[in-house]
Amino acid sequence: LRRSPECHQEEADGHLRYRIIEKKLKGMGDNMKGLFITMEGPDGAGKTTVINQLIPLLQKHALVDIVSTREPGGSRIAEDIRKVILDVNNTEMDERTEAILYAAGRRQHLKDRILPNLEKGNIVFCDRFVDSSLVYQGVARGIGVEEVAQLNHFATDGLEPSTTLYLDVPAEVGLERIHKARGNRQFDRLDQEGLSFHTMVRNGYLELVKKYPERIVSIDATKSIEEVVEECFRVLVERYPKYFTK
Ligand code: TMP
């Protein structure tokens, strides 16, 4: 488990740069024994399909329990908040309202599920976490990465994943997959966004990968599902030999 550095964003010559300031954290999360893993990626990166194959594989090799969860949502109240955020009728939702709702759901999910399982020593595998807000709300919605980081710091008290598996696909590929899958996947409000939004999301993630090269592992998700699952598995087993048998 990591302690989050505070992330300060500066804009210079059109490039986002971040200054990291380590901050001592208090209270929450001091007695954590478990392992907190997240998965991130633009829409259409194939997260759901990968997770459906990766979790059973990890479970086979894990020496502790694995709890698979997701955001937005992941616990009863947080799932209620998810419904409000993703409701296709809420087109007029203000972007800060949206950011606050994501952070509120995250806080509740953390208290209800993530922390109790980490305290028990389990592996918590979460589909999306703070990075999604930094990218979607901070970059793509234009609120600013630093503002969204601060909001989320309040929500999480600085708790960060040990490893984040980032599934990387170009925006065009992600969008094409979404459209193909529309028949068997619920089309939500955010899928209505165009290519430029999806491109900003991808670029936002690439900035985070550069900024957190140790925590975030970028995986080429244009490869076959089998290869992507295999690579995710390999990364985790190599990084955490105490938690998995080979
Ligand atoms: P999902 O498709 O992975 O279930 O995520 C639903 C959408 O919510 C997806 O388009 C990304 C978006 N999202 C944010 O904009 N900010 C966040 O903090 C999270 C967790 C998700």
Dihedral class, residue 202 (left if φ above 0, else alpha if ψ from -120 to 50, else beta): alpha
Residue 178: the pLDDT is 86
Ligand 1 atom with the smallest distance to the CA of 102 is 18
Q: How confident is the model at residue 246 (pLDDT cuts 50, 70, 90)?
A: confident
pLDDT, greater one: 194 or 144: 144
Percent of the residues in the chain that have a pLDDT greater than 90, as a whole number: 77
pTM, to two decimals: 0.86
pLDDT given at position 187: 58
**Rounded Cα gap, residues 142 and 139, in angstroms:** 5
Residue 13 has pLDDT above 60, yes or no: no
> Ligand 1 pocket, 18 CB below 6 A?
no
CA–centroid distance, residue 73 to ligand 1 (Å):
10
- Residues 167-193, mean pLDDT to the nearest whole number: 77
Helix (H) or strand (E) holding 67: strand 66-70
- On the question of pLDDT at 26 being above 50, the answer is no
User: Rounded to the nearest whole angstrom, what is the distance from the C-alpha of residue 245 to the centroid of ligand 1?
Assistant: 32
CB 132 within 8 A of CB 169: no
| Whole-number pLDDT of residue 223 | 97
Q: So what's the pLDDT on residue 176? A: 87
